[in-house]
Structure 1
Amino acid sequence: MLKQVSLGEGVVIHQLDLVNLYGCSIGAGSRIGAFVEIQKNATIGQNCKISSHSFICEGVTIEDGVFIGHGVMFTNDLYPRATTANGDVQGSEDWTVVPTIVRRNASIGSNATILPGLTIGEGALVGAGAVVTRDVPAGAVVAGVPARPIAKPMRDEQNKQHGRLQQ
């Protein structure tokens, strides 16, 4: 389903009937896998790859050249609740979106969960299955629950070799 979506030139959406996009922006050359949902006010940069079964919620900004693995989940609410204090079902006016940003050329492994309000730095690598609870510095490699550095940050030369830092 496509509702009020801005698509750049050359965007590829695999199995359009199995993708839910609304009120979002997707940059030129990006590729979107099946069973992906991208919500309103989310932005995907140019030449990104969003793998199947991923969820990109409102308030997430993904810069150019980012890889999102299968089943990656973003969140945007620090204190999620179904109802208000008086028991009514919450509406959009009852909570505040907490934005998240993924910087250029970062990679997020399959089944990672990204908590709200974080920045994943340029060229950073988040391991599969990680739960990211803190900002990830540029070039860092993090994994685990909660995600922690598992290697020294990649040197600029390594990142450039892998296309993760702007040259």
Structure 2
Amino acid sequence: MKDIIIIGAGDFGKEVAWLIEGINKVSLSYRILGFLDDDEKKTGKVINGYTCLGKITKLFDISKKMSVCAVIAMQNGTVRRHIVERLTCFDHWETIIHPSANVSDTLAIGKGCIICAGNSISVNTNIGNHCVFNISAILGHDCIIDDYVSVMSGACVCGHVTVGKEAYLATNCTVVPGKTIGCNAVVGAGSVVLRNVKDNVTVMGVPAKVFKFI
């Protein structure tokens, strides 16, 4: 059994704890030591049965005393990247996959990823490091998903799609086959992507078009 720390004691942190509990119901694999969070108001609080142990950098002290792995429970990929860069001396990032996820044996996946309940990930797809797939997302065959990508609940990414670093695909969006989503791009909830999306833009609607904030 591995000792694991959840970085982030917010709403998604609670869901990640639930995910790990789901893994343990099938095969006892992890002992959740608690949360780490930079919000000082959360230190010492018990959240769904697990204590917030302190700030994120406390992971250094804990890892010196015992063998521990960790996962970053933050939905924003840029935030996840910043945390990894702060913790450069720590490299025991755990990829966790809910038992109900239908994941191909030909999937290649990096470290620190979170695949929640009900996901379907097809054949010959490559996923980078520290990616998040929330509940019931669908990822087609032969996709390339770069580091720190976030795919939210109900999103459908069809085959041969490429998604760049730190892109965010919101709830119930659809990306049709063969398209490219640029780095740090955002696809709005319920949107349907019919064309390639450039870096650093937000697209919304059916079909998805560039959305400009006023």
TM-score of the two chains, using structure 2 as the length reference: 0.55
In terms of Rg, which structure is larger? Answer: 2
Q: C-alpha offsets along residues 61-91 of structure 1, whole Å, 9 cap, x if unaligned? A: 1100000010111223xxxxxxxxxxxxxxx
Equivalent residue number for residue 71 of structure 1 = 154
Q: Which runs of 4+ in 1 moved over 2 A?
A: none
* Amino acid paired to 1:54: A
TM-score of the two chains, using structure 1 as the length reference: 0.70
1:139 aligned to 174, 187, 200, which one? 200
Quick check: which one's helix share is greater? 2
Q: After TM superposition, give the deviation of residue 115 of structure 1 in Å.
A: 0.4
**Partners of 1:145 and 1:9 in 2: how far apart?**
37
Equivalent residue number for residue 38 of structure 1 = 121
**Partners of 1:75 and 1:63 in 2: how far apart?**
16
Equivalent residue number for residue 96 of structure 2 = 12
Query: What is the correspondence of 1:70-109 to structure 2 with a 5 Å cutoff?
Result: 70-76=153-159, 99-109=160-170
**Partners of 1:138 and 1:65 in 2: how far apart?**
14
* Residue aligned with 1:142, SS: strand
* Aligned residues: CA RMSD: 1.4
* Amino acid paired to 2:151: I
Which protein has greater RCO, CA pairs closer than 8 Å, 6+ apart? Answer: 1
How many residues are paired up? 121
Q: After TM superposition, give the deviation of residue 107 of structure 1 in Å.
A: 0.3
Equivalent residue number for residue 81 of structure 1 = none
1:49 aligned to 132, 151, 162, which one? 132
**Structure 1 spans left out of the alignment, 5+ residues:** 1-7, 77-98, 153-167
